[in-house]
Amino acid sequence: MASRLLWASRAASYLRISVSHRGFASVRIRFLFKAYKYDGNGEDGKWHGVIKDLKYAESHEWVKVAGNTATVGITDHAQDHLGDVVYVELPEVGATVNQGSGFGAVESVKATSDVYSPVSGNVVEVNEELSNSPGLVNSSPYEKGWIMKVEIKDASELQTLKNSDDYAKFCEEEDAKH
């Protein structure tokens, strides 16, 4: 038992995980300066990563803005509820997307879910890697699992999206209903 605890402590140190020996009431991982939080008091006991500098739609898409370009994907919360993703329907480069309108779909072993654009604009790039590796949506929803990049038409639409704290609270309330 002591050797397992020592191994776990070393592994946690290597991964920069803080472990409380009083239980797992709260664990935080620092990964590339982004905080992921596990709340052991939650009903499902799963990881739900929320990144501070992103914007979030209530339909569970995230937006990362760089200049006039928005990178869009589905949230960790969404991919967790979907299960293993087996197919991602990508929009066409050059297509026009509108805030709140569907632009594609994500198919998992559990269900198929439409994906909605959190901003309006023109699609300037899609993540072709998802055609061969749709599981990137599960393993790296905020990095390698992005779906499209959009040239933003109306930056004021970003104000209608949630910040990380509001989105995390929204997810907690939504999960409590089910």
Q: List pLDDT tens digits, range 12-38.
A: 333 333 333 333 332 333 232 233 443
Q: CA gyration radius for the chain?
A: 18
Q: List pLDDT tens digits, range 64-110.
A: 999 999 999 999 999 999 999 999 999 999 999 999 999 999 999 98
Rounded to two decimals, the pTM is: 0.73
pLDDT the model gives residue 39: 40
